[in-house]
Amino acid sequence: MRAFVSFSPYANQRSDRNGAVSRRNLFLALLLILCAAIYSARGSAAKADPVRIVAFGDSLTAGLGLAPQDAFPSKLAGALRAKGFDVTVANAGVSGDTTSAALARLDWSVPPGTEAVILEFGANDAFRGVIPSIVNQNLDEIVRRLKARNIEVLLAGMYAPRNLGKDYYAAFDAVYPALAKKYGLLYVPFFLQDVAGVAGLNQPDGIHPTAAGVDVVVKTMLPSSEALIQRVRSRKAS
DSSP class of 207: S
CA-CA distance, 178 to 170, in Å (whole number)? 12
Q: Is 205 among the residues known to form the active site?
A: yes
Residues 6+ apart with CB under 8 A from 85: 51, 226, 229
Q: Identify the active-site residue in 58, 109, 125, 208.
A: 208
Q: Is 59 among the residues known to form the active site?
A: yes
Q: Is 208 among the residues known to form the active site?
A: yes
- Using alpha carbons, list the distances in angstroms from residue 234 to 64, 82, 204: 34, 21, 43
CA-CA distance, 20 to 18, in Å (whole number)? 5
CA-CA distance, 38 to 45, in Å (whole number)? 10
Q: Identify the active-site residue in 59, 74, 109, 225.
A: 59
Q: Identify the active-site residue in 6, 8, 167, 205.
A: 205
CA-CA distance, 138 to 99, in Å (whole number)? 6
CA-CA distance, 64 to 208, in Å (whole number)? 7
- Using alpha carbons, list the distances in angstroms from residue 169 to 119, 157, 172, 196, 236: 20, 13, 5, 16, 39
Residues 6+ apart with CB under 8 A from 136: 175, 178, 179
- Residues classed as catalytic: 59, 205, 208
